[in-house]
Amino acid sequence: MSFEAPGLTVPLPPPSWRDWFAGLPCPDAGKAPELDPALLDARPDDVAFELDPRSVVTTGERSDQWNTHYEASGSMSVRGPDGAATEVPVRYEVTLRNENATPQAMASVNPFDPSTIPPRTRIEVHGADYAGTALEPAFLELAAANGLDSIDDLRLSLEMTEKKGLRVMTGSERLFDAPRDGGPGSPALAREDFIRHTSMLSDPAGADLAQYNRMLLTGQVPDNTVMVAEDVEKGEVRGTVAEAGSGEVNDITWTLDADGRPTGAEAVLTWEPTSRGRDSDRIEANAQSGFRVDNEMKGSGDDVGHLIAYRFAQGHGEVNMFPQFSSFNQGAYAKMEQEWSDWLGAGMEVRIDIDLLRSDSHRPDEVHVDYEVIDPVTGSVVYDPSLIAFGNGANQSFDAIAAKQMPGMIDRAAA
């Protein structure tokens, strides 16, 4: 085998917000506000982002069956342990569960302080609202990391999960407002290049607070942040999945037919981002729902299968999906994916080539998989099984290499 590696519709801010912002005192009208240098020198988890609840003005309140939505603006003090402080005007949109939407709670929610965010709450923060504030340099760094020329197109999207984990996403405004319009939830033939960063903070108000505060102060994303990008060309989508802290990268290239259906994928996997946070990935969930409808899968006995598992690819919508017989998806294919995960856990690199074989149907008849395991230190081939030809139906099997066998195979390949 050979392989070459390589929405939420948000209303415009109310006029009162702009008037309030313009009315803030400015000691030096010719100079943009800056954070006190002592704040940048302090340990990030020693810096507090204190929202004054008395300053908070909520507007546009509206409720549906489950949630209350509103916009908020107010004054926040960024304070260090030695008394250093910088005032920052803030604005954001909140979606709060109805049972939590008391006036006091609505005024207390602060996107810059995870301890104030109730479970199942979503918050949208717009870079344009922080131009000309002391947080502008950090937002500029986040914009640049997402390939954006201006903070005017930057969105910081937060979601506190039911288990109090904080999902932190940054990317372009369009990516969140219209993910089916060129973004990761869009039809395969309508996709455009994009970059998105996602962090899952399991203890955002405790052990992970320093990483979150560092991002707000400097624009440096948490070390466990996963960067997902797509480079789109005719008949091909190249996906990159990288970890900010380690620099590990998975490269995946999907090929598409004239109708935008994936015909196969080639991948070089070096790490596993895992599926943690998949349940709160609304963009991927919506893409799967759309795929089921578009492919008339109700009652078919098929799952929405992924050529490259979410745990390695982190989504990518319908370019990574195909109708896959349920027991095949959850049985033999899952066993193969677990073997790949075990190889990655042993420090190996897995190179994969997948072909979907169709007759005239949108549903593949066969799935052919060829892969090899490479030791990245020596370049040696550790394992190179024969091509596997799966039928897209019942009674498929896969004989996985057990994790306990892998160290011996790696040693023998290096000898």
Statement: residue 282 has pLDDT above 80: no
CA dist., res. 401 & res. 396, Å (int): 17
Specify if 303 maps to a domain: yes
HEC assignment per residue over the chain? CCCCCCCCCCCCCCHHHHHHHHCCCCCCCCCCCCCCHHHHHCCHHHCEEEECHHHCEEEEEEECCCEEEEEEEEEEEEECCCCCEEEEEEEEEEEEEHHHCCHHHHHHCCCCCHHHCCCCEEEEEEHHHHCCCCCHHHHHHHHHHCCCCCHHHEEEEEEECCCCCEEEEEEEHHHHHCCCCCCCCCCHHHCCCEEEEEEEECCCCCCCHHHHHHHHHHCCCCCCCEEEEEEEECCEEEEEEEECCCCCEEEEEEEECCCCCEEEEEEEECCCCCCCCHHHCHHHHHHHHHHHHHCCCCCCCEEEEECCCHHHHCCCHHHHEEEEEHHHHHCHHHHHHHHHHHHHHCCCEEEEEEEEECCCCCCCCEEEEEEEEECCCCCCEEECCCCEEEECCCCCCCCCCCHHHHHHHHHHHHC
Same domain? For 201 and 114 the reply is yes
Higher model confidence: residue 7 or residue 363?
Answer: 363
185 confidence band (pLDDT: 50, 70, 90):
confident
Segment 15-57, tens digit of pLDDT: 344 344 444 444 444 567 999 999 999 999 999 999 999 999 9
Of 165, 190, 224, the last residue of a domain is: 224
Specify if 1 maps to a domain: no
pLDDT at 381: 98
pLDDT at 281: 73
Q: How many domains does the chain have?
A: 2
Same domain? For 166 and 298 the reply is no
Specify if 88 maps to a domain: yes
Residue 197, phi then psi, degrees to nearest 5: -115, 135
Segment 223-281, tens digit of pLDDT: 999 999 999 999 999 999 999 989 899 999 999 999 999 999 999 999 998 666 566 57
Same domain? For 158 and 250 the reply is no
pLDDT at 284: 82
Statement: residue 13 has pLDDT above 50: no
Higher model confidence: residue 115 or residue 284?
Answer: 115
Higher model confidence: residue 177 or residue 209?
Answer: 209
Statement: residue 205 has pLDDT above 50: yes
Statement: residue 1 has pLDDT above 90: no
Same domain? For 264 and 155 the reply is no
285 confidence band (pLDDT: 50, 70, 90):
confident
Across the range 308-332, mean pLDDT stands at 94
Lowest mean pLDDT among 9-13, 33-37, 77-81, 336-340: 9-13
Question: Measured between alpha carbons, how far is residue 385 from residues 254, 371, 373, 414 in Å?
Answer: 22, 7, 9, 18
9 confidence band (pLDDT: 50, 70, 90):
very low
pTM, to two decimals: 0.85
Statement: residue 117 has pLDDT above 80: yes
Same domain? For 370 and 340 the reply is yes
pLDDT at 131: 97
Across the range 208-219, mean pLDDT stands at 98
State what percent of residues in the chain have pLDDT above 70: 89
Same domain? For 219 and 326 the reply is no
Same domain? For 220 and 237 the reply is no
pLDDT at 4: 43
Lowest mean pLDDT among 37-41, 143-147, 160-164, 404-408: 160-164
Structural domain containing residue 355: 228-415
Statement: residue 306 has pLDDT above 90: yes
pLDDT at 212: 98
Of 167, 202, 224, the last residue of a domain is: 224
pLDDT at 184: 72
Statement: residue 176 has pLDDT above 90: no
Same domain? For 268 and 219 the reply is no
pLDDT at 207: 96
Statement: residue 203 has pLDDT above 80: yes
Same domain? For 94 and 175 the reply is yes
Of 224, 257, 288, the last residue of a domain is: 224
182 confidence band (pLDDT: 50, 70, 90):
low
